[in-house]
Structures are given as structure tokens and as C-alpha cells.
Amino acid sequence: MTILSITKNRNIWVGIGFLIVGILLGWLIFGGSGGSSQTSEPASLIADDHEHEGGSIWTCSMHPQIREDEPGSCPICGMDLIPLETSADDDEGPTSIIMSARAMKIAEVETTVIESKAPYNELYLPGKIKADETRIAELTARFPGRIEDLTINFTGQKVNKGEVLASVYSPDLVTAQKELFEAKKLKESNPEFYQAAITKLSLWDLTKGQISAIEKSGEVQYYFDILSPITGTVTMRHVSKGDYVKEGSLLFEVTDLSRVWVMFDAYESDLPWVKMSDKINFTVKSIPGREFTGKVSFIDPVIDPKARVAKVRAELNNPSDLLKPDMFVKGILKAMLSGNAMAVTVPKSAILWTGKKAVVYVRNLESEKSMFDYREIVLGEEAGDYYVVKEGLNPGEMVATNGVFKIDAAAQLLGKSSMMNPDGGKVSMAHDHGAMEGGDAGKEEEKVDHSQHDMGAMETMTVDDAFKKQLAAVFDQYLLMKDAFVATDAGKVKKEAEKISTSLEKVDMSLLKGDAHLKWMEILKKIETPLKTISTSDDIAAQRMVLGTLSDAFFEGIKTFAITGLNAFYQYCPMANDNKGAYWLSVTQEINNPYFGDAMLRCGETKETIK
């Protein structure tokens, strides 16, 4: 075979190889998707699929200036992006939004059927062991005298009824005995005189046996025994041997601990669940592995003005003295609402909170499409993972319990009724971060226009460094409360607010003089008013409504008294408080929004840095 023929054959085989590769590539590119319904476009979160050149445009309902070619999170607030455009539907009303099957899947929407049932709740009640007040005996001196002998040497000693506690010498008792002897001689002719002498000794706590012994002996006894009136434990000893006591002086306290009280703390929101005779199971840290049970015998009609709790008392026998006064306990009350009545309930995950209003999205079962209706409802008692519904929902209706915020965000972008915009209308561009890039969103600093913020021009005042340190300590406590707001933990917010009040009490106002003192009094009032609201409320929405006022007061105090070294940031969210906007203080430049928590964690921007 010649070289020419070999070269020719090789070229033929190379051509055949290229042809085969071309066929394979064509099949992979065109044949594999032929007739298939699959597409690379992301599914829409709203209505039908929306196709555009280059795919759907995704945006944020809170920040419409954001434009992305694929789904993801908003670089400003962290919310899930949704498609920019949607097709109108004749079936939709101003409070309704339609979602396609794909949209339901992408948004991970789940629904739950509303039921009518007997609401059940588990209350966790902290408490303390207390002595039964009806089993406490206090012994007081009924006559003046001197303690000659003491048989009770220490507190905690157990005594039996009738046991001698002490011996007393009293000149008054000596005189009373002599009167008895004289009256006994005149018993026949003047029985009233005799009876009066007996009564006098009885009123001084001498027993009938002691009085009879005096009569029989016919001799004056100079020492008298003080006897225990009950069997129990000496819980207080107020005298020592040789002490002189006056009439009315407290000598001993004896407590019968064979039956004790357990005093539980119940918050105002817990009280509708607590009823007389309810069983409360509780444990004591010092007795691991054992559970005790007591019945509710009393519910305090008055709320403690400081702790904002009512005392709930349970009683139980304590034959082995295992339960000791002032032991801490942890109680669980498994409760039904009063009357065990049936009630409409809704899962907590279905609820969106907007100020005092609660919002749900109800599946429209009459529509063939996945239509959800915006609805405001009135809630009652909290029942574990549910709320009792007072108004707005009926059994058999279906509500969204997962993906609710995504539905609401889409509704707001479309100008429908939504959590932040109940009356509908297109979203505002007020929260414009300009041309901020994603990674730096919320970190741009601007000068604060205090005239618009109703702060006025703040004059810096020179004050004692000790006062600055004390105010800085209060600010540290504020930061802990702010973090609790970010976590949306109303209980912790309340506790941290109480700690702020305690810190404020430690601030020494005498360190301030003249105008500085008057200015601090003005700022203190601005702090105390919202702080009281926060520390007395269990509603995170109500607490958040006054957080801005409190934060402004702290900002004013820090600026006025030139508290340095804080490295704090004055931050702002225009969506807070029903789109009115509100500020807060932080020591981290990254936005952690205390007004919305995880719902819009990164929504906001830094307005000023405080060095």
C-alpha cells in the first residue's frame, strides 16, 4: 500500500469520527430535550409561570430596586426573592393572590385545616416551698419576767405538743397565785372573785393542769414552764437564758411541716388556664428522679406590681419532711380552658403579626386555583403551639402554615392587602439604599437629620467620669435587651428590661450638677416610660412599638453626656412600626433588625457611628 493510499484512508476515518461526534453532540443538545416539559427557568412564586428573555426577573418585596436573574435572598434584608412580574387574573380580588403549583412547591407552602377542639396547654410554673401559715404557732410573753431556763437551744429543733420550751420567773405571776389562794378561801361566799382569779391565770396561757397543781399544792410557784402548743419544728428563737421579756415579747415560733404549701408564679397570660383543684406536678432539684403532686387550693386575686405574676398555691402532705421551706421547684400544669369548652384554634406558624393585628392567609376552597385570601383575625388565649381564635376563622377553613411570609411578600409587591400594607397599593420605594452593592448593604453611613427625627439639636455636657461609667453599664444592659428583640423572645425581653430598671436605680444622680442634672431627669423620664411598657408586657409586638422611643432616649443620653469608647452604631429601619420607621443602637455594624427578627434580619442601615 502506498503512502498516498494510507493518507487517504486515514482522512476518511477522521471524517467518519467527526461525523459521529457531531451526531452525538446534536442529540445531547437538541434531542434530549425534545418534547420535554422541563425548562431551566425558575418556577414562579406568583400566579402562572412568567417567561422573559433570559429568564424571570427576581426582586425583593421590601426593596424593589433589587433585580436578579435567579432566585435567592435579598442582599439587604435577607428575604427570599420573588418574580418581578405577574399576570393578572380575573378571579383575584384586592385581598387575594393566586399561586401556581410550581410556586407552591418553591415557596414550600403548607396548609392546615382549622379545627374546633378543647384547647390544651402545658404551663411551666416556677415556685417555692412555703410553710403552711395555718400551722404556725407564735409564742409571746403574756406577762413580764425573766427567762430562768431554756430547753430549746437552737433553731430547727423538733418539739412535741406540751413539751417544755423554757421556764420563766415573773413577780406578776407570784402575785396572781396569792390572789388565787385568797379567792379560794372566799369561794363559797364570793364565787365570782374565785372565778376571776382562775380566768386571769388562764389568760396568761397557764393550762388547767398547771392551775390545778397550784391550787392543790397551796404554795406559790416561782417558776413557770412555757409549753409548745403544737408538734413541729422551732423555726424562730428570740430569747436566751437570762433575758428579761416584756408583755407581748415574741419568744418562739413553732411550725408544723407535716403539710406544706407550694407557691407558684403564674403570669397574667397563664391565669385563664389555672383553676381550683387543678393538679400541678413538680420536681425539686435536691430530690432528683422524684415527682410530687399538689392540688391548687388558692389563686391570688392580686397581681404583684413588680414581678407581674399572681401566686398560685398548692398543698400537699410532707410526712418525711423531704420538702423544706424556700426550696425552689419547677411545676407543670396540664390545663384545659375553663369549662373545657370547644374552641376554634389556629397554629402559631400561620400567624403574621403587624402591631396589634394578627394576619393569616386562608386558602379559597371555592377556587379551582391555589388562591389565598388575606384575613385579619382576633386571637384569644395561647394554647401551646396554637392560639384560640375569637373571631375571623371557622372550622373547616384552610390556612397556610408554612411559606406564609413568602405569600405575604408577593402580595405586597403586587399591591394587594398584606401584613405591612393592609389597604393594598403598590410598595413604596422609601427604603431606597441607592446603588449599594449586596455585600455592603445596610452599612453605608449617613448624617442623621435630627430635626426630622424629633431629637432636636443635642448639646454636649461635661459630667463626672463616674456618671459616664454608670450610664455605660446601663447601655450594656440595653444591648442584651436588644439582642432578645432580635431573637423575638418576649419573655427574655421583659427580663432584660427589668434589669435595665435595676441598673438605672444604681446611677448616682448626685454626680450631676445644675443643667446636667435637669437634662438627665428629662432623659430618664423618656427612658422609664417605654421601659415600663416593655417590662410589663408579654406581647413582643407591643414591646417593639416602644423600642424606638427607648432607643432614641439612650441615643440622646449617650450623645449629650459624651459617653465615649462604646463603638456603637445608630441604625434605622423604615419598615418598623407599620412603615413609620424606628431606630435602635448596636455595637455590631452588621444589621440585626430587632423589629422583625429573622423575618427581615438584615433590613436596615447604619445612620451614625458613635466612637
Q: How many residues does the chain have?
A: 611
Task: Kindly report the number of other CB atoms within 10 A of residue 52's CB atom.
Answer: 12
| CATH number of the structural domain 133-255 | 2.40.50.100
pLDDT tens for 172-189 read 888 888 888 888 888 888
- Cell numbers 403564674 correspond to what residue? 266
Query: Is pLDDT at 7 greater than 70 in this prediction?
Result: no
pLDDT, average across residues 580-584: 91
| pLDDT of amino acid 584 | 95
Q: What angle do CA 34, 36, 39 make, to 5 degrees?
A: 110
Query: Is pLDDT at 3 greater than 70 in this prediction?
Result: no
- Which helix H or strand E contains 379, and what residues bound it? strand 370-383
Query: Is pLDDT at 208 greater than 90 in this prediction?
Result: no
| pLDDT of amino acid 426 | 54
Burial class (CB in 10 A: 0-12, 13-18, 19+), 362: buried
Query: Is pLDDT at 497 greater than 70 in this prediction?
Result: yes
Cα separation, 156 vs 378, in Å, equals 55
Query: Is pLDDT at 478 greater than 80 in this prediction?
Result: yes
Per-domain residue ranges for the chain? 110-121+346-402, 122-132+257-336, 133-255, 442-610
Query: Is pLDDT at 1 greater than 70 in this prediction?
Result: no
| β-bridge mates for residue 584, sequence order | 571
- The beta-strand segments (E) located in 394-458 are 398-402
| pLDDT of amino acid 399 | 93
Identity of the amino acid at 7: T
Spell out the long-range contacts of 417-426 with Cβ–Cβ below 8 A and sequence spacing 24 or more: 417/94, 417/95, 417/374, 418/374, 419/352, 419/353, 419/354, 419/359, 420/354, 420/575, 420/578, 420/579, 421/579, 422/354, 422/357, 422/359, 422/374, 422/376, 424/94, 424/95
Does residue 90 or residue 391 have the better pLDDT? Answer: 391
Does residue 120 or residue 302 have the better pLDDT? Answer: 302
CB 492 within 8 A of CB 538: no
Query: Is pLDDT at 108 greater than 60 in this prediction?
Result: yes
Does residue 277 or residue 459 have the better pLDDT? Answer: 277
pLDDT, average across residues 571-575: 89
- Cell numbers 395555718 correspond to what residue? 134
Query: Is pLDDT at 144 greater than 80 in this prediction?
Result: yes
CB 552 within 8 A of CB 525: no
C-alpha cell at 420: 405591612
| pLDDT of amino acid 138 | 92
pTM metric for this prediction: 0.51
Query: Is pLDDT at 462 greater than 70 in this prediction?
Result: yes
The class that CATH gives domain 110-121+346-402 is mainly beta
Query: Is pLDDT at 36 greater than 50 in this prediction?
Result: no
pLDDT, average across residues 469-478: 91
C-alpha cell at 291: 415527682
Spell out the long-range contacts of 428-433 with Cβ–Cβ below 8 A and sequence spacing 24 or more: 428/579, 429/64, 429/65, 430/574, 430/579, 431/62, 431/63, 431/574, 431/575, 431/603, 432/65, 433/63, 433/65, 433/76, 433/605
Query: Is pLDDT at 88 greater than 50 in this prediction?
Result: no
pLDDT band at 565 (very low <50, low <70, confident <90, very high): confident
Does residue 457 or residue 460 have the better pLDDT? Answer: 460
pLDDT, average across residues 203-212: 81
| pLDDT of amino acid 432 | 44
pLDDT band at 55 (very low <50, low <70, confident <90, very high): low
User: Among 74-88, 213-227, 529-543, which stretch is predicted with the lowest mean pLDDT?
Assistant: 74-88
| pLDDT of amino acid 433 | 41
Does 122-132+257-336 carry CATH code 1.10.357.10?
no
pLDDT tens for 235-278 read 999 999 999 999 889 999 999 999 999 999 998 888 888 999 99
Query: Is pLDDT at 511 greater than 90 in this prediction?
Result: no
User: Among 29-38, 222-231, 520-529, which stretch is predicted with the lowest mean pLDDT?
Assistant: 29-38
Query: Is pLDDT at 148 greater than 50 in this prediction?
Result: yes
pLDDT band at 440 (very low <50, low <70, confident <90, very high): very low
| β-bridge mates for residue 315, sequence order | 261, 295
Q: Examine domains 110-121+346-402 and 133-255 and report if their fold is the same.
A: no
CB 324 within 8 A of CB 511: no
pLDDT, average across residues 101-128: 87
Does residue 316 or residue 611 have the better pLDDT? Answer: 316
pLDDT, average across residues 162-174: 89
pLDDT tens for 352-387 read 887 678 899 999 988 888 899 999 999 988 888 888
pLDDT band at 62 (very low <50, low <70, confident <90, very high): low
Cα separation, 418 vs 354, in Å, equals 10
Distance (Å) of CA 16 to CA 10, 19, 24, 123, 475? 10, 5, 13, 80, 80
Written as one string, the DSSP assignment of 232-281 is: EEEEEE---TT-EE-TT-EEEEEE--SEEEEEEEEEGGGGGG--TT-EEE
Q: What are the b/e assignments for 122-146, b being 16+ CB within 10 Å? A: ebebebebbbbeebbeebebbbbbe
| pLDDT of amino acid 128 | 95
Query: Is pLDDT at 42 greater than 60 in this prediction?
Result: no
Does residue 337 or residue 398 have the better pLDDT? Answer: 398
Among candidates 535, 530, 532, 517, which has minimal Cα distance to 584? 530
Mean pLDDT of the chain: 81
Task: Kindly report the number of other CB atoms within 10 A of residue 263's CB atom.
Answer: 18
Task: Kindly report the number of other CB atoms within 10 A of residue 178's CB atom.
Answer: 12
Does residue 330 or residue 84 have the better pLDDT? Answer: 330
| pLDDT of amino acid 485 | 94
Query: Is pLDDT at 2 greater than 50 in this prediction?
Result: no
Q: Work out the percent of the chain whose per-residue pLDDT is above 90.
A: 35
Does residue 93 or residue 145 have the better pLDDT? Answer: 145
User: Among 57-66, 164-173, 601-610, which stretch is predicted with the lowest mean pLDDT?
Assistant: 57-66
CB 399 within 8 A of CB 104: no
| pLDDT of amino acid 486 | 94
